[in-house]
Amino acid sequence: MRDEAEAGQPGSEVLAAMLAGYGVSHVFFVDAILRRTLIAMEGHGIRRILAHSEKAAAYMADGYARASGRVGVVMAQSVGAANLAAGLQDAFLHRAPIVALTGRKAPAAQARNAYQEIEHRPMFRPVTVFDADVDAPDEFPRLLRQAFRAATGPTPRPAHLDLLGLQGEGIETATITADRSVEPRHAAVPAHRPPPAASDIAAAAAVLGAARRIAIVAGAGALLSGAGEALAALARRLSAPVATSLGARGIIDTRDALSVGTVGTYGAPPANRIVHAADAVLYVGTHAGDQPTMDWRVPRPGIPIVQIDADATEIGRAYPNTTAVPGDPRLAIEALLAALPATPRAPDFAQWAAGIVHDWRAAMAPLMASDASPIRVERLCAEITRALPEDGILVADTGYSGIWTATCVDLSPRQTYLRAAGSLGWSFPAAIGAALAQPGRKVVCFSGDGAIYYHLTELETARRHNVPLVLVINNNSAFGQGLVNVRRMQGNRPGNPDEIIRFGPTDFAAIARAFGVHGFRVERAGDIAAALAQAVAINGPVVVDVVTDAEPRAPEPWVPGVEE
């Protein structure tokens, strides 16, 4: 009698069991895709989260992955594949582990005007690290394992499998006899922790030992590796101010004497000025793109750079003559601590940096305490700092939402900060995914009204699953970030510039209540704290609609060569 392996299993059961084997707790999808598999998933304890658009489903999987470190899984049928691919851009840019599954009509239907069918792989190629067609059922387990390996690689990114059948039915209805084993190490990131070479650590220690003014810039890779404690210890040893990219905000307490804030185009003035003044910079787990380097002007061109990254191919991409330390960031920092002198260096540079941060905070204090009406966003951010639980998760959208929260909300290492990598409207669906991934932690989402219009329908999803999150809407009836530029371009010409930058007004609290969700509208600064406290205490989704002033500008970064 043949055993179970020889006899095979239906593809639907194989896929459900393999996902469960990888520790997947939630799958995000838009009907109709893999319906038999979705039914089988319930028997494996996997929750099925039906979203209202493929992009929202992708953002939910992204938030789930970032909050938990586990692989997010998202699915859509053939005609939804283009929408799903667009939703993977943010995960690709931020480097989040996702496996996307789509259906594709049979080869006999290709290139002959099949209804609602276009070629999928050209759309997925720019936003995935691995992309494959699955036409033979027995190839599916092997390709799924490869998708998980690729998604959790040194630079985590989405992977995509395009399954035979409009709804993937060509795979899930087939009998699969191939090896259905999984590789649990690739269930989460980091899947591997490569240790640094001793020679690389010695070279980095020599560069840092020769410098007088060292700045550290930490990125999402440092956060991913759990390098926070080691990073803080290294900063104290080197008396080095610590700046972060948006993706690593909160890796050390933002109120720590060595924390100088977010660096680059979305940072407050102190960080750019301090990193620019350094005579050596240590990059840890950041790819040093244009945003955290102010278009590669911060740090100063030509100064020594030491770069630690788990992906050796990323080192030196931004700056030539970089001293490379390929390896897991936490292990590399721990090795550096062992290689450097045990006596902390003179604190002159760190004290100078702390003074700049102190002065900037003092200048911001009146704005963060302002009772002005309409409400100033600085005051809203200060209230979020006070309301966010000690282990809370703050999810921010792109644009001004990212700048406001990166400059005016303080965070500790026990809290988590997730932000959009550029996709307007990302934050609310991502917050749903994050809350589902971390049910014991309260999630607060900070979104502008321009962003929340994208996925308002997901209020129904949040209500249906009773997702415990607080959606704070910075409601200024405009794309506030572009307001000044549009008016400047309009100049003295006759016309109405507001037509291309303003909208609303909208009462989002009333909309929330229409969806069956708690909604509070705040029009006075003095009422923010009570509304947030009440919202945080509710076990379910809540909208806090805060009417703010579109005119005040978010903090602007210090720019080399520009007068302060």
The CATH number of the domain where 390 resides is what?
3.40.50.970
61 close to 74: Cβ distance less than 8 angstroms: yes
Residues 379 and 505 in one domain: yes
Q: Is residue 230 assigned to a domain? A: yes
**Helix 329-339 and helix 228-238: axis angle, to 10°?**
30
Boundary residue ending a domain (152, 187, 222): 187
Which domain covers residue 424, as residue numbers? 369-547
- Per-residue confidence (pLDDT) for residue 215, from 0 to 100: 98
Residues 303 and 398 in one domain: no
Q: Nearest 5°: CA angle at 396, between 395 and 398?
A: 145
Q: Is residue 363 assigned to a domain? A: no
**CB atoms inside a 10 Å sphere around CB 470:** 29
Q: Is residue 362 assigned to a domain? A: no
**CB atoms inside a 10 Å sphere around CB 366:** 10
pLDDT per residue rounded down to tens, the chain (564 residues): 345 556 899 999 999 999 999 999 999 999 999 999 999 999 999 999 999 999 999 999 999 999 999 999 999 999 999 999 999 999 999 999 999 999 999 988 888 999 989 999 999 999 999 999 999 999 999 999 999 999 999 999 999 999 999 999 999 999 999 999 999 999 999 999 999 999 999 999 999 999 999 999 999 999 999 999 999 999 999 999 999 999 999 999 999 999 999 999 999 999 999 999 999 999 999 999 999 999 999 999 999 999 999 999 999 999 988 999 999 999 999 999 999 999 999 999 999 999 999 999 999 999 999 999 999 999 999 999 999 999 999 999 999 999 999 999 999 999 999 999 999 999 999 999 999 999 999 999 999 999 999 999 999 999 999 999 999 999 999 998 988 889 889 999 999 988 999 999 999 999 999 999 999 999 999 999 999 999 999 999 999 999 999 998 999 999 998 754
Q: Which two tokens stand for residue 443?
A: 């999630």
59 close to 49: Cβ distance less than 8 angstroms: no
390 close to 234: Cβ distance less than 8 angstroms: no
Residues 135 and 221 in one domain: no
Give the DSSP letter string of 342-366: SSPPP-HHHHHHHHHHHHHHHHHHH
Residues 220 and 259 in one domain: yes
Residues 19 and 146 in one domain: yes
468 close to 436: Cβ distance less than 8 angstroms: no
Boundary residue ending a domain (161, 187, 213): 187
Beta bridge partners of 242: 216, 259
Q: Is 482 left (phi over 0), alpha (psi -120 to 50) or beta?
A: alpha
54 close to 80: Cβ distance less than 8 angstroms: yes
Distance CA 336, CA 42 (A): 47
Q: Is residue 558 assigned to a domain? A: no
Reduced to 3 states (helix: H, G, I; strand: E, B; else coil), residue 266 is: coil
Residues 6+ away with beta carbon under 8 Å from 131: 121, 124, 125, 159, 160, 162
Q: Is residue 360 assigned to a domain? A: no
Taken as a whole, the chain contains a residue count of: 564
- Per-residue confidence (pLDDT) for residue 111, from 0 to 100: 87
Residue 190: is the preceding peptide bond cis (ω within 30°)? yes
Give me the number of domains the chain comprises: 3
Residues 156 and 14 in one domain: yes
Residues 65 and 101 in one domain: yes
Boundary residue ending a domain (187, 211, 229): 187
Residues 471 and 398 in one domain: yes
Q: Is residue 559 assigned to a domain? A: no
Distance CA 325, CA 308 (A): 5
Reduced to 3 states (helix: H, G, I; strand: E, B; else coil), residue 393 is: strand
Residues 139 and 218 in one domain: no
Q: Is residue 564 assigned to a domain? A: no
Beta bridge partners of 211: none
CB neighbour class for 506 (10 Å; exposed up to 12, middle 13-18, buried from 19): middle
431 close to 406: Cβ distance less than 8 angstroms: no
Residues 457 and 489 in one domain: yes
Domain containing residue 279: CATH number: 3.40.50.1220
Residues 155 and 212 in one domain: no
- Per-residue confidence (pLDDT) for residue 563, from 0 to 100: 52
- Per-residue confidence (pLDDT) for residue 1, from 0 to 100: 35
Residues 541 and 457 in one domain: yes
Residues 6+ away with beta carbon under 8 Å from 20: 41, 44, 45, 46
90 close to 422: Cβ distance less than 8 angstroms: yes
Distance CA 526, CA 523 (A): 9
Q: Is residue 563 assigned to a domain? A: no
Distance CA 465, CA 188 (A): 24
129 close to 95: Cβ distance less than 8 angstroms: no
Q: Which two tokens stand for residue 107?
A: 């080869």
